[in-house]
Structure 1
Amino acid sequence: MPFKIIASQCTGCSACETQCPSVAISERAGVFLIDPEKCTECAAYFDEPQCVAICPVDSTCVLDPALPRHQVA
């Protein structure tokens, strides 16, 4: 399940974009989005997803249950 950003909670601070090791986060119209094709859930990079760790608003970066979990190669 790649992460997604709850758009209604995103403040547009951009902190997550620079912290993503997969370069999966980008800005569109002042709101940040996570590309599910690029999101690795920070597996093999960090113990905790960096978007979750850096986001100033709790529960804004969440797992997307509609998509399968990332498989580490």
Structure 2
Amino acid sequence: MANKSESYENMMAKLENIVSSIENGEMTLEDTMKNYEAGVSLCNKLYKYLNDAEGKIEILSGDKEKDFTGDEK
């Protein structure tokens, strides 16, 4: 998974702060670009984190989804 010292929630909070500061529009172009790069990096980490979690869930469930209609015999 992504950096073990950073939780998913922590990375999301950082990304939300970056987006908010960019939308604020009070930064220089250089600072905006640095924040944009940091945001893209965080997005990539979050994507990997979610993909890894999905893979673990698929392994644990045996790649078999069951229809839980109650008609099991």
- TM-score range relative to shorter protein: under 0.3
Structure with a larger share of its residues in helix: 2
The structure whose Rg is larger is 2
TM-score by length of 2: 0.22
TM-score by length of 1: 0.22
Structure with a larger share of its residues in strand: 1
